[in-house]
């Protein structure tokens, strides 16, 4: 029988057990586990908890991975406070395995038989399930399968005094003064979470106001590392545990305390009167394979101050003179040896160490191998921009610059990440502040500017765009998107937006070499809008507006936050995936009435762009092929139709969107074609409305017969002169495409001066 159980409770008969789960376990062992479980004794502890000691047939395999016996003495503690039962292997030389809980040194090995949260498991937990899990633990241990992929190798710390949040940069330096941090309590006074910060004067003052706690950081080398199985409960035990692993903690700390005692900058009073904690970075070693993994820091907190530890180490005296720096301690000029009795009397408790939420942690939790440190400049900090940015920030994505010149108004709160305290503030600054509050290494900065305006000599907008690896348009403005596309900055562009009705989200991403720019993708998106049944009206459907101020322009559309959040999440996920690939992408998501989502991805083709005079005309291979197919289908006769596209007069660019076949009242002959007009005007009007008037009629295409060149005939020249005159009132050139054996020939007609054409 384990001396441990005997020392902490009184023996009782098994039939006298009273804890419900203990009784269930006893009855299960007697009725159903004969030959597997042999009950030995029961105990009742002073606090009412009950212990069953039994011998378990482990079922170990003949070739065991760990030194597990055929029969093992097991003790289970059944608690009266509603907490989970604890399972102990009572053999003093029980082997080191994964999935053992960290316990104080005087305790036997504690087995982790169930990694579920107890609050989730306890409502259905039974004695038979507990017995099954214990036996299952030994089954898996016997064949070396206790450790699952994704589970930590280091043992679990139970009964932690505090949760300590540790900056990931803490262990970039060495031990001692350079690794000194202070613990700051959060706003909640009763919280047991401590935030560790650099020991700056400001942070020292904040820590002192809340009860000063100072942590020192040390590292155990891989060469000296042994697995840590038991947790020390006093300072002497901690020193011995670390010394066996190559870290002379008492010597290191003595050196540091000597320096602090000599300190004349006024910090010694804080340091020597602060409670002392340790964060010790130790490699994690697999008990069977001996593989070494990077582990999280192991944390300990002393019940005494640095000065009291210094006295026990023989480095300090208590100063009662009320003179000098008044730290309460004075340096022992002739230090003697440490007083082991005093060191043993200094209690040490474990603290649970948590990695701060930075880009590395965020990426890991999001399932990524590493953080994405690319610099992104986002233009537009409205609903879609704020939601997409926050989602990506929480996944460890990007260093952020936010450009927007709008102020947050009350009606924005319905679908924005900001809150009422930000009303009246710049969206760009408030969103940047929010990203930095999520992740300090988001490095988010804000620029209050309109990207379409001139910004003088110190053009922060241009600097931010040129410095960006990615330029994200979240402005919901085609003018802004096209302007960003045309800038000389090298960064890859992307665009995200909702449709006016707020039930569809659109994502456009250029390829990494920018051969398919946002303008090209926009044109192919409009063709998809015209031709895809489910997208045909997603831009033009009627939208219910509501006013938010007295101006006729002060209106916004109705869109619930739940839908905006769903669509933004789809955009963020698509953007995250798309920017990890080299190719361009166009994706559209539409949400139905029951929050069902239809997703559309459009295959994109790199267009050909032709410079004709001072204009650029772009056509993608799909549209070019369509024109040639329509010609081929009518061979023997000439054919033709109208061209639709996006015209940008300032950029002098035409992106072709669609070419229609001949209207049914057209006349085609082997050497002549007269394009009809039936339903043409209403169809063009409908197409323009379907794209919010982003496309327009830009000209005509027609075919030449087999064996003929695609050079324009006299009739063709007359027609394009007529078209030029017709379109001149809109300030647009006319476009003609001639399809023939040689492919396509492009002609542009434009007015040079009044009454003069070229």
pLDDT tens digits for range 239-294: 988 888 888 999 999 999 998 888 756 677 888 888 899 988 877 666 556 666 66
Query: Does the pLDDT value for residue 498 go beyond 70?
Result: yes
pLDDT in tens, 563-597: 999 999 999 999 999 999 999 999 999 998 888 99
pLDDT at residue 457, rounded to an integer? 64
Structure tokens at 158: 């139970």
| Distance of alpha carbon 155 from alpha carbon 176, whole angstroms | 26
Max intra-chain CA distance, the chain: 117
| Distance of alpha carbon 25 from alpha carbon 43, whole angstroms | 14
Q: Considering only residues 432 and 227, tell me which one the structure prediction assigns the higher pLDDT.
A: 432
Kindly report which listed range (145-149, 703-707, 726-730, 749-753) carries the lowest average pLDDT score: 145-149
| Distance of alpha carbon 81 from alpha carbon 98, whole angstroms | 28
pLDDT at residue 210, rounded to an integer? 62
529 to 511, 532, 571: CA distances (angstroms): 21, 6, 18
Structure tokens at 51: 């212990």
Nearest to 394 by CA among 440, 438, 441: 438
| Structural domains of the chain in order of their starting residue, each with its CATH number | 3-151 (3.10.110), 157-356 (no CATH), 361-601 (3.40.50.720), 608-757 (3.40.140.10)
Kindly report which listed range (316-325, 327-336, 661-670) carries the lowest average pLDDT score: 316-325
Nearest to 360 by CA among 635, 604, 166, 570: 166
Query: Does the pLDDT value for residue 625 go beyond 70?
Result: yes
pLDDT at residue 178, rounded to an integer? 44
Nearest to 651 by CA among 519, 453, 750: 519
Percent helix, strand, coil in the chain, to 5, is 30, 30, 40
Q: Coil, helix or strand for 533?
A: helix
pLDDT at residue 176, rounded to an integer? 40
Kindly report which listed range (194-203, 437-446, 542-551) carries the lowest average pLDDT score: 542-551
Determine contact, residues 241/304, Cβ cutoff 8 Å.
Answer: no
pLDDT at residue 551, rounded to an integer? 45
Q: Considering only residues 328 and 14, tell me which one the structure prediction assigns the higher pLDDT.
A: 14
Residue 730: pLDDT band by 50, 70, 90 thresholds?
confident
Q: Is 467 exposed, middle or buried (0-12, 13-18, 19+ CB in 10 A)?
A: middle
The pair phi, psi for residue 717, each rounded to 5°, is -70, -40
Query: Does the pLDDT value for residue 21 go beyond 80?
Result: yes
657 to 223, 243, 586, 639: CA distances (angstroms): 66, 74, 15, 19
| Distance of alpha carbon 447 from alpha carbon 103, whole angstroms | 53
The secondary structure element, H or E, covering residue 342 is: helix 340-345
pLDDT at residue 332, rounded to an integer? 87
pLDDT at residue 153, rounded to an integer? 43
List Cβ neighbours of 308 (8 Å cut-off, separation of 6 or more). 346
pLDDT at residue 202, rounded to an integer? 79
CA 294, chain centre distance (Å): 22
pLDDT in tens, 518-568: 999 999 999 999 998 888 888 877 666 555 444 444 446 778 899 999 999
Query: Does the pLDDT value for residue 97 go beyond 70?
Result: yes
| Distance of alpha carbon 390 from alpha carbon 381, whole angstroms | 11
Residue 758: pLDDT band by 50, 70, 90 thresholds?
low
Strand 640-648's sheet: what is its strand order?
608-612, 615-619, 653-659, 640-648, 696-703, 734-740, 743-749
DSSP states of 104-161: ETTS-EEE----S-HHHHGGG--HHHHHHHHHHHHHHHHTT----TTS-SSPEE-S-S
| Distance of alpha carbon 568 from alpha carbon 507, whole angstroms | 10
pLDDT at residue 556, rounded to an integer? 65
| Distance of alpha carbon 253 from alpha carbon 175, whole angstroms | 10
pLDDT at residue 555, rounded to an integer? 47
Percent of the chain whose predicted confidence (pLDDT) is above 90 = 59
Residue 137: pLDDT band by 50, 70, 90 thresholds?
very high
Residue range 104-109: mean pLDDT, rounded: 82
DSSP states of 634-688: TTTS--EEEEEEEEETTTTEEEEEEEPPPPTT-EEETTEEE---TTHHHHHHHHH
The secondary structure element, H or E, covering residue 485 is: helix 478-486
Q: What torsion do the CA atoms of 262, 263, 267, 269 make, to the nearest 10 degrees?
A: 20
Beta-sheet pairing, 109-111 with 397-403: unpaired
Structure tokens at 56: 């378990």
Q: What torsion do the CA atoms of 567, 573, 575, 578 make, to the nearest 10 degrees?
A: -130
pLDDT at residue 173, rounded to an integer? 45
pLDDT at residue 85, rounded to an integer? 95
pLDDT at residue 523, rounded to an integer? 95
pLDDT at residue 544, rounded to an integer? 61
540-564: string of b/e by CB count within 10 Å (b at 16+)?
Answer: beeeeeeeeeeeeeeebeebeeebb
pLDDT at residue 194, rounded to an integer? 84
Query: Does the pLDDT value for residue 189 go beyond 80?
Result: no
Query: Does the pLDDT value for residue 152 go beyond 50?
Result: no
| Distance of alpha carbon 146 from alpha carbon 99, whole angstroms | 7
Residue 691: pLDDT band by 50, 70, 90 thresholds?
very high
Determine contact, residues 182/196, Cβ cutoff 8 Å.
Answer: yes
Alpha helices in 403-477 (DSSP H): 427-438, 460-467
| Distance of alpha carbon 18 from alpha carbon 9, whole angstroms | 15
Return the number of other C-beta atoms located less than 10 Å from residue 255's C-beta. 15
| Distance of alpha carbon 528 from alpha carbon 657, whole angstroms | 9
pLDDT in tens, 373-414: 999 999 999 999 999 999 999 999 999 999 999 999 999 999
Determine contact, residues 87/111, Cβ cutoff 8 Å.
Answer: yes
Structure tokens at 220: 């155990």
Size of the chain, expressed as the number of residues it contains: 758
620 to 422, 604, 627, 633, 710: CA distances (angstroms): 45, 9, 11, 20, 19
Q: Is 117 exposed, middle or buried (0-12, 13-18, 19+ CB in 10 A)?
A: exposed
Query: Does the pLDDT value for residue 105 go beyond 70?
Result: yes
Structure tokens at 115: 């990694």
**Paired strand residues for 353:** 164
Structure tokens at 630: 């329509």
Average pLDDT, the chain: 87
| Distance of alpha carbon 82 from alpha carbon 78, whole angstroms | 9
| Distance of alpha carbon 437 from alpha carbon 427, whole angstroms | 15
């Amino acid at each position: 029988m384990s001396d441990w159980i005997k020392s902490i409770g009184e023996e009782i008969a098994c039939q006298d057990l009273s804890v419900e789960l203990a009784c269930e376990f006893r009855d299960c062992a007697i009725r159903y586990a004969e030959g597997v479980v042999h009950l030995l004794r029961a105990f009742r502890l002073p606090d009412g908890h009950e212990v069953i000691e039994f011998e378990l047939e482990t079922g170990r395999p003949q070739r065991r991975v760990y030194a597990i016996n055929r029969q093992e003495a097991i003790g289970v503690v059944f608690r009266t406070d509603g907490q989970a039962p604890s399972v102990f292997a009572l053999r003093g030389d029980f082997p080191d395995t994964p999935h053992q809980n960290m316990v104080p040194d005087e305790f036997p090995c504690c087995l982790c038989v169930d990694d579920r949260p107890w609050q989730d498991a306890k409502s259905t937990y039974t004695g038979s399930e507990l017995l099954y899990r214990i036996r299952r633990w030994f089954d898996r241990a016997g064949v070396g399968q206790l450790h699952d992929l994704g589970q930590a190798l280091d043992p679990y710390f139970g009964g932690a005094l505090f949760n300590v949040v540790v900056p990931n940069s803490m262990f970039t330096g060495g031990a001692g003064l350079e690794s000194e941090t202070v613990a700051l309590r959060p706003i909640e006074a009763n919280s047991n979470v401590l935030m560790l910060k650099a020991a700056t004067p400001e942070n020292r003052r904040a820590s002192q106001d809340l009860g000063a706690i100072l942590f020192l950081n040390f590292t155990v080398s891989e060469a000296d590392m042994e697995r840590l199985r038991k947790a020390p409960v006093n300072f002497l035990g901690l020193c011995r545990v670390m010394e066996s692993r190559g870290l002379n903690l008492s010597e290191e700390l003595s050196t540091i305390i000597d320096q602090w005692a000599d300190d004349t900058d006024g910090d010694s009073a804080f340091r020597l009167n602060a409670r002392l904690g340790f964060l010790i970075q130790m490699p994690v070693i697999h008990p069977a394979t001996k593989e070494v993994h990077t582990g999280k820091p192991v944390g300990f907190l002393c019940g005494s101050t640095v000065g009291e530890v210094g006295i026990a180490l023989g480095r300090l005296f208590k100063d009662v003179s009320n003179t000098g720096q008044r730290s309460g301690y004075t340096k022992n000029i002739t230090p003697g040896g440490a007083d082991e009795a005093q060191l043993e009397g200094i209690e040490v408790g474990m603290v649970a160490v948590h990695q701060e939420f930075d880009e590395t942690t965020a990426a890991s939790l999001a399932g990524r191998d590493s953080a994405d440190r690319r610099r992104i400049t986002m233009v537009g900090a409205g609903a879609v921009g704020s939601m997409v940015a926050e989602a990506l920030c929480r996944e460890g994505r990007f260093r952020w610059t936010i450009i927007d010149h709008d102020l947050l108004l009350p009606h924005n709160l319905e679908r924005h990440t900001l809150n009422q305290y930000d009303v009246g503030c710049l969206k760009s600054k408030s969103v940047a502040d929010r990203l930095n509050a999520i992740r300090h290494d988001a490095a988010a900065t804000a620029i209050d500017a309109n990207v379409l305006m001139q910004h003088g000599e110190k053009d922060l907008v241009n600097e931010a765009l040129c410095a960006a690896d990615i330029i994200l348009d979240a402005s919901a403005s085609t003018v802004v998107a096209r302007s960003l596309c045309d800038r000389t900055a090298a960064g890859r562009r992307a665009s995200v937006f909702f449709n006016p009705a707020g039930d569809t989200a659109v994502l456009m991403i250029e390829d990494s070499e920018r051969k398919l720019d946002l303008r090209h993708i926009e044109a192919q998106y409009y063709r998809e809008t015209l031709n895809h049944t489910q997208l045909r009206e997603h831009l033009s459907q009627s939208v219910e507006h509501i006013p938010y101020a007295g101006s006729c322009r002060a209106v916004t559309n109705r869109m619930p936050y739940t839908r905006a959040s769903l669509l933004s999440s789809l955009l963020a996920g698509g953007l995250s995936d798309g920017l990890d690939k080299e190719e361009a992408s166009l994706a559209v998501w539409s949400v139905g009435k029951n929050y069902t989502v239809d997703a559309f991805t459009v295959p994109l083709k790199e267009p050909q762009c032709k410079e004709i005079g001072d204009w650029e005309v772009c056509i993608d291979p799909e549209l070019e092929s369509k024109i040639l197919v329509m010609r081929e289908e009518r061979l023997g006769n000439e054919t033709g139709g109208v061209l639709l596209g996006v015209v940008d007069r300032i950029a002098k660019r035409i992106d072709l969107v669609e070419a229609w076949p001949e209207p049914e009242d057209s006349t085609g002959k082997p050497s002549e074609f007269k394009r009809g007009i039936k339903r043409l005007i209403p169809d063009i009007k409908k197409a323009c409305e379907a794209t919010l008037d982003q496309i327009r009629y830009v000209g005509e295409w027609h075919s030449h017969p087999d064996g003929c060149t695609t050079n324009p005939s006299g009739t063709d020249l007359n027609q394009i002169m007529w078209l030029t005159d017709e379109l001149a009132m809109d300030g647009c050139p006319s476009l003609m495409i001639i399809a023939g054996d040689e492919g396509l020939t492009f002609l542009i007609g434009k007015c040079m001066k009044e009454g003069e054409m070229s």
